[in-house]
Structure formats: structure tokens, C-alpha cells
Amino acid sequence: MRDVYIIGVGQVPVREHWDLGLRELGTRAVRAALSDAHTERVDCLLVGNMLASRLAGQDNLGTLIAGAAGLLPAEAWGVAAACASGGAAVRAAVLAVASGEHEVALGLGVEKMTDAPADEVTLALATASDQDTEAGMGFSFPAMAALIMRRYMHETGCSREAFAPFAITAHENAASSEFALFREPISARDFSDSA
């Protein structure tokens, strides 16, 4: 395997984007990455997504976005790994270059949940869990996360406050990012008061 370098990155601000679809959001991120990389060359576009099929009735995002971004005839296909689909697309792009199959590969993650009702989004997210033992029993991901957290606290004696640094650090990092949705820092007290 040969060495791989990330030569550019691009993203769009995390917002509700009522006026933009997946094609436009993906294309904007692709164009930003290519601008940052100072290149127009892409041999392969790998698009990570979990919910487009269920929430937007749209599959084949790789070719859709490659066409809209002017990348064709580049190879383009989708990558699915639940909530890690974007990361999996980047990994697949790295492997495409490391293997020698392509010189320039672009990994993209794109998702849009705001256009669908919350109950549809919850059901769509649940498709990433085991239908026999989890989602089929009515569990949502937030419910499962809460149960896992409670079990961890029970088994380790860990307090709820021990989780505060996760939220505090995430908000602290977001405060300085023009792309973040929630840009207000929070304190340990804010965390405690949120329960």
C-alpha cells in the first residue's frame, strides 16, 4: 500500500437548509474540498449516507452528486455504515488511493433529516439497529444510549456529572466554528441544569 495524503477538505454549515437538497449540499461540500485542494481532478467519489433512501426517496447519491459537481466520468458510488457513513466514505477513499486504484479520491458524507417529520426520522435511524432485539421492540437510538449510560453508571459507580466534559468540550469546540449549529459554550452548571 502506498502513502495517502489529504490534500483538501470542505464542508457546509450545519443548518436546517430548507432550500437545499442532498444534491446541492453534497455538491457544495465537494466544490469546497476541491477549492481547498487547488485541483479539479477526482478519479473516484465515495458518498456516505444513511437516510436518503427512506427520508428523501433518493438512492445512488454517488452518481447524482458527481454529475451535479461536474466530476463525471469519475467513478462514483455510495457507502453505508449507519451514522458512520461519512467516515466510512473517507476511509474508502483512502483505500482507493492506497491500493493504487486511483490517484485522487474524494470521500463525502451528506445527510438531511430536517425535511421529514421527527417520527419518520426516528424510525429511519432505528434501521441501523438490530430489528429483532432493538428497533423491533420500539427502542430508539436516544433511548438505547440512555439505557447504556444508565447501565454504565450502575456498573461503575460513575456519576452523571462525569459525562459533563463531553458536552462542555463539544460546545467549546463548536463556539469557534462557523460551521457549527450550536455555537454557545456551556458550563458544568448548564450541563447539570439540563437534566
Give the end of a domain, one of 42, 77, 109: 109
CA distance 165 to 160: 11
pLDDT band at 143 (very low <50, low <70, confident <90, very high): confident
CA distance 43 to 103: 7
Q: Do 124 and 79 share a structural domain?
A: no
Give the end of a domain, one of 109, 127, 151: 109
Domain that holds residue 126: 118-193
Helices (H), the chain: 22-37, 61-68, 85-98, 118-126, 141-156, 164-175, 188-193
Q: Do 150 and 169 share a structural domain?
A: yes
Q: Do 105 and 26 share a structural domain?
A: yes
- Is 5 within a domain? no
- Is 30 within a domain? yes
Cβ atoms of 82 and 63 within 8 Å: the answer is no
- Is 13 within a domain? no
Q: Return the CATH number at 90.
A: 3.40.47.10
Report field, pTM of the whole predicted structure over 0.95:
no
Condensed to tens digits (0 to 9), the pLDDT of residues 38-92 reads 999 999 999 999 999 999 999 999 999 999 999 999 999 999 999 999 999 999 9
